[in-house]
């Protein structure tokens, strides 16, 4: 698989996971004592998914990067995808004119 196709597949996987991670975290943690853990758990899960994606798909990091560097790059890609997911849900719920 070409590096460009690897990047596209990796980005799509991370964006799908980022979009679904917030409602999934909320469905498990939306309770009186655990509602403050929704966003931290979502970020931790997305950082883990991003790290795994960057290790599995080498083109998400620089060519020839060592594994530690790929993991760190994947963490940042995962956190970016989590931010995009939150932004998408905020726009879907509030719209462009606000709540």
* 36-91 per-position pLDDT tens digit: 999 999 999 999 999 999 999 989 988 888 999 999 999 999 999 999 999 988 88
Identify the pLDDT of residue 20: 93
Which of the four pLDDT bands, split at 50, 70 and 90, describes residue 99? low
pTM listed for this prediction: 0.88
pLDDT surpassing 80 at residue 29: yes
The Cα–Cα gap between 51 and 88 comes to: 22
The pLDDT of residue 18 is above 90:
yes
Max Cα distance, the chain (Å): 48
Q: Which residues contact 48 (CB under 8 A, 6 or more apart)?
A: 78
Q: Do the Cβ atoms of 81 and 46 come closer than 8 Å?
A: yes
């Amino acid at each position: 698989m070409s590096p460009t196709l690897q990047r596209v597949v990796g980005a799509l996987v991370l964006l799908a996971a980022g979009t679904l991670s917030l409602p999934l975290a909320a469905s498990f943690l939306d309770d009186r004592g655990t509602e403050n853990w929704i966003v931290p758990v979502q970020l931790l899960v997305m950082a883990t998914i991003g790290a795994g994606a960057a290790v599995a798909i080498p083109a998400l990091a620089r060519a020839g990067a060592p594994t530690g560097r790929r993991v760190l790059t994947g963490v940042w890609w995962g956190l970016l995808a989590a931010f995009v997911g939150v932004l998408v849900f905020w726009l879907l719920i509030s719209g462009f004119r606000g709540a």
